[in-house]
Amino acid sequence: MNGPLLQEELPQGRLLQRLFQGRVGWMLVRNTIVSTGVFLIGLGLLWLLVEQAGMDKVIAAGIGFAAANTLHYILGRAWIYSGTNRAVASGYVLFLINGGIGLVLTIALMALLLEFTAIHYLIARILVSVIAGLAMFVLNAVWNFRRV
């Protein structure tokens, strides 16, 4: 694909080698701090929507995820992936696409956990966030912000 969103070149080297560099570890630390903060906001929103508004748990998880994802982009662009050459608008579009992938993964895994286990919905959401969060970090670091 040679569209305007993908015109930057990826850094050279194998992906696994690039992912296990020290600077990427620090990006992951910063990402974890931001992710944890926005996740807690999303979790609070999930609780409010389910417990106070009576919304379906899985739909509420999607809404909480979308709100947290937007805040994550704002904080992530400034701190996690600083130095990117990606334009703000195209970066946000790619972040939303990656967020959509994360959203599908989050809702699918949460639905599976709620269907086939007795796990409380908030615990299920926390477990799912680890998998979806790592997947989104890699997608954003490699594909969107081109920092790995």
106: Cβ contacts below 8 Å, ≥ 6 apart:
61, 62, 65, 125, 128, 129, 132
Residue 135 CB coordination number (10 Å): 15
Which residue type occupies 132?
Answer: A
pLDDT range class, residue 109, cuts 50, 70, 90: very high
- If one compares 118 and 18, the residue with the highest pLDDT of the two is 118
61: Cβ contacts below 8 Å, ≥ 6 apart:
46, 106, 107, 110, 121, 125
Tell me the percentage of the chain whose pLDDT exceeds 90.
53
Tell me the percentage of the chain whose pLDDT exceeds 70.
91
Mean pLDDT for the chain? 87
Which residue type occupies 33?
Answer: I
Q: Which residue stretches of the chain are H helix?
A: 15-19, 22-47, 57-75, 88-116, 121-139
> Please, is 144 exposed, middle or buried when counting C-beta atoms within 10 Å of its C-beta (0-12, 13-18, 19+)?
buried
Checking if the pLDDT of 34 tops 80, the result is yes
Dist. CA 90–CA 145, nearest whole Å: 10
Could you read off the pLDDT of 67-95 as tens digits, one per residue? 888 899 999 999 999 889 999 989 989 99
Dist. CA 105–CA 134, nearest whole Å: 11
